[in-house]
Structures are given as structure tokens and as C-alpha cells.
Structure 1
Amino acid sequence: MKVALFVPCFIDAFYPEVGIATLELLERLGCEVEYPLEQTCCGQPMANSGAQADAAGAERVFVRAFAGYDHIVGPSASCVNHVRDHLTAIEQTDEVRHVRANTYELVEFLHDVLGARDFPWAEFPWRVGLHNSCSALRHLHEASMSEIAGAPFSKPLALLQHIKGIEFVQPKRPDECCGFGGTFAVTEEAVSVRMGQDKIVDHVSAGAQYIVSGDMSCLMHQQGCAERMKADVRFIHIAQVLNGARA
């Protein structure tokens, strides 16, 4: 299966190891991965700030870079949600519709498209608290939400539970926002920080040694809060765990 790798801006700039882990993991699972070199921002920061029209240039470049692929995979639910549901600053041509319909977040691609459940190379002997971002939960529906009645499910957990040595701990409020929210963390700094602190306390109180998520932006925010709180907890992207990182 040929896959185009979409690496979001903040991962490219601050956490390139997550992009590398995503590439290596997809190749381990038998995908032929290409990285379109002309890719840039998908346009989410502008649209998220209410400046939708200003996202048009980035959206056009994104579509031009990825239009030739049947599967576009990126390790970020918020960016994938923008492409899939909000890539609307440009004319909705057949190419645009194709890109929107065939862009996947890494967890859902592994779970839904590849049906991956076996990661024999991976071992993670730590107590883990799982953080599902708001975009992963309420837009991509990767796990059940406490406010909606129904059978509980979790695609990230379905993948991680096959990792040797891993132990899961459950925070009291598992699907509560951590306070990052993109530009919300800038415009409402005090509220954002308090929400991040509450999330850290919830995970640490449950016994988490690591917080694992599919959204590095949420982990970046929580890591900053944890360091200032001097909380004894570490952070890692799910791609790194599934690809065999030990710590």
C-alpha cells in the first residue's frame, strides 16, 4: 500500500522524532511511504484563529502536494480534522474533495485501514495514562465520550494493549480537555494553564509514569505545565511507543 506521509508543522519543527517514528512504523507494517517535499502547513492555525480566508494559500499548496495519493497519513488529529472537515477556504474541486476524503490520522489508519494489532518489536514497561485529544475524540471519534451513552471503545487502547510490558492507569476524567486548544492557549493563557495543571494532577494521581497521546500539541502543552509543577511524569507520542521506543 502506497502512503503519503503528512508531517504537521510543529512536529517538523519541535518533535521530528515523532515524524521519523511514524515513517518507520508505517514501513514496518508493509506500507510504501513517500514524503512530498513541497508540503507545508495545512492552514489550520489561520482557520483556527478565525482568519479562514488567509488559509487559502496553504490549503492550495497542501492539495497540490497530496492530490496524487490514495492514502494520506499524519500523526495529528487536529491537523487531520482541519483537512477533512475545514479545508474550505478554496474552491471544492475534485482534487480537493479527494484529498479531504483520503486523509487519515495515524491511529485510525492503523486501526481501521491496516487492521494492525500486532507489534512484536515493541515493549514499553511503564504505567501509562492515555490522553485522547478533543479532535481525536469529538471529530475523528477514536474513542467513546463520557457525555454520550453507548458501549465504551478506544482505538488507541486497542493498539497499545498489544505492547509487551505496558500497564494502563485511568484518570478520573479521561476525556477532559487538557487546555491546549491551539490559539486558545495564547488568548486564554491562565485558563489554559489551569486546565493543563488539572490534567497532570489527574494522571499523576492515577499513577501514570508516562502520558501517551496521538497529539503532540497536547503533550507539548502538558509537558510545559508538568515541568513548571515539577511533576514526575514523562510524555511520548503513540507512534514512538508502537514503533518500539522503550523510554
Structure 2
Amino acid sequence: MKVSIFSTCLVDLMTPNVGIAMVEVLERLGCEIDYPAAQVCCGQPTYNSGYLEDSKLAMKNMMLAFENSDYVVGPSGSCIAMFHEYPKIFKGDPHWELKALALKDKSYEFTQFIVKVLGVTDVGAKLKGNATYHRSCHMTRLLGEKESPYQLLGKVKGLQLEPLKNSDNCCGFGGTFSVKMPEISEQMVDEKCGCVVDTGADILISADMGCLLNIGGRLSRKGEPVKIMHIAEVLNHHHATAAAKGGRET
């Protein structure tokens, strides 16, 4: 099965190890991977800021970049959800609406692809430790993916997953929201950090690096020794050793 990787801006520029982990997991599951070099941003930051027409150039570029791909898989429910918005944005456009529909139909978030397309729930990962999982807003509400991460984490040998109180609450990142309304964002991430600490977990896992960097940064500033790991890193882990507290997995 041929899979094109959509790296997303945060993974490409700030956490490439997450992209590497994603590729290694998919390759072990029998996927043939390629990386269309023409890809850039999906257009979400400017689109969410109200600059619709200015965002369309980036969106058109992405449709062309992945035009010949069989499947498109990304490590972010938020960015994949943006792809799924394209048909609404280009509705009625005689040239681009069909391309938008084609990209939506073949685009999947990483865990969603593993469970719902490959039909796999146990990837052979091992990680000993106590963890909790943060559900990102866009992946849960816009993409509508709620179960796949839990199904995969439930099969990681040695991992004890603790329930996170108020798991439906936003972490306060929201992309440009945290920049435009920092005071409100700070209160939201403080509430989320409190819930994470209350679980007693050593590791915070999520499927969106924006959330992880936001929560992890605040935990660090508060002196809380909780490690952050993207779910791709967890699923790529093969050694059943206890995760050390503090910092993020590399």
C-alpha cells in the first residue's frame, strides 16, 4: 500500500522525530512511503484568522502536491481536518471542487489510518509507564476521530493509561487563539495541566503537536516532571523500560 506523508508545519519544522516515528511505524506495517516535496502549509492559520482568499493559494498547492497519492497520512488530526474542509471552501468551483473532494477522501490522521484502513490495533509497541491521553479539539470535533488512539494505546505492552478529567476541554492553544488571547489561553492551559498532574501520570500523550507543545511548555514552566510524547513516538517504542520523567521523548 502506497502512502504519502503530510508532515505538517509543526512536525516538519520543530519535531521531525515525530515524522520519523510515523514513517517507521507505517513501514513496519507494510506501507510504501513517499514524501511529496511540493507540500507546504495546509492554510489553516490564515484561514482560521479570516483570510479565506489568501489561504486558497496554499490549499491549491496542497491539492496538487498530493494529486497522485493513493493515501495521505498526517500526524495531526487538526491539519487533516483542514483538508476535509477543502470541499466546502471550493464548493461550486468547476476545477477545484473535485480535487478537494479527492484529497478529503484519501486523507487520514495517523492513528485513524492504522485502525480504520489497515485494520490494525496492535503495532507491537512496548512502553512501561503511567500515561494519560489528551484529545485535541479539532481531531475530536472536526475530524470526528475519538476511538483510534485509545484502541492503539490499549495494546501497548506495559503502558498504564490513566483517564484524564475534563478530557473534552480545550488546552488553550487553538493556533492563533493562544496568540490573540493569551490571558484566556493561559487560564485554559493551567486547568489542563492541573488535570494532567492529578492523574499521577509520568507521560502525557497526544496526537497533535500543537497541543503537546502548549501543555508541555506550561508543565515545564510550572516545574512539573511530566514527559510529553506524540502517539507516533509511543507506537514506535519497542523497549519495555520505564520512561524517565521530565522533558520530551526524542
TM-score (ref. length: structure 1): 0.91
Q: Secondary structure at the match of 1:19?
A: helix
Matched position secondary structure for 1:124: strand
Q: Are residue 220 (structure 1) and residue 213 (structure 2) matched?
A: yes
State which of 164, 168, 174 in structure 2 corresponds to 1:175.
Answer: 168
Aligned to 1:77: 77
Does structure 1 residue 231 correspond to structure 2 residue 235?
Answer: no
Percent of pairs with identical residues = 39
Aligned to 1:18: 18
SS at match of 2:127: coil
Question: How many residues end up aligned between the 2 structures?
Answer: 236
Does the 8 A contact of 1:84 with 1:100 survive in 2? yes
Q: Is the 8 A contact 2:78 2:143 kept in 1?
A: no
The one-letter code matched in structure 2 to 1:76 is S
User: How far is 1:137 from its partner?
Assistant: 1.0
The alignment's C-alpha RMSD in Å is 1.4
Q: Is the CA contact (8 Å cut-off) linking 2:86 and 2:101 kept in structure 1?
A: no
Q: Tell me which of 93, 102, 119 is aligned to 1:115.
A: 119
For 1:145-184, list aligned pairs within 5 A. 154-184=147-177
Amino acid at match of 2:112: E
Deviation at 1:242, TM superposition (A): 0.5
> Which amino acid counterpart does residue 141 of structure 2 have in structure 1?
R
| 2: CA distance, partners of 1:245 / 1:226 | 26
The answer for unaligned runs of 5 or more in structure 2 is 244-250
Whole-Å separation in 2 of the counterparts to 1:161 and 1:65: 35
Q: How does 1:92-131 map to 2 (within 5 A)?
A: 92-120=96-124, 122-131=125-134
Change in 2 beyond 3 A, CA 1:245/1:181: farther
Residue identity matched to 1:231: E
How far apart are the structure 2 equivalents of 1:164 and 1:118? 9
Preserved CA contact (<8 Å) 1:123 1:163: yes
Partner AA of 1:34 in structure 2: D
User: How far did 1:70 drift?
Assistant: 2.0
* Distance of 2:175 and 2:218 partners within structure 1: 15
Maintained 8 Å contact 1:77/1:140: yes
Cα shift at 1:61: 1.0
Deviations 1:34-90 (A, max 9, x none): 100111111111101111111111111111110111210000011111111246555
Instruction: Provide the C-alpha distance between the structure 2 equivalents of 1:17 and 1:123, rounded to a whole number of angstroms.
Output: 18
Q: Structure 1 residues 140, 96: closer, same or farther in 2, change over 3 A?
A: closer
Q: 1:245 to 1:52 in 2, by over 3 A?
A: farther
Q: Is the 8 A contact 1:71 1:103 kept in 2?
A: yes
Paired position in structure 1 for 2:44: 44
Native 8 Å contact 1:131 1:213 kept in 2: yes
Match of 1:58 in 2: 58
TM-score, scaled relative to structure 2: 0.90
SS at match of 1:195: helix
Q: Equivalents in 2 of 1:202, 1:177: separation in Å?
A: 12
The SS at the match of 2:24 is helix
Structure 2 residue identity aligned to 1:21: A
SS of 2:158's equivalent? coil
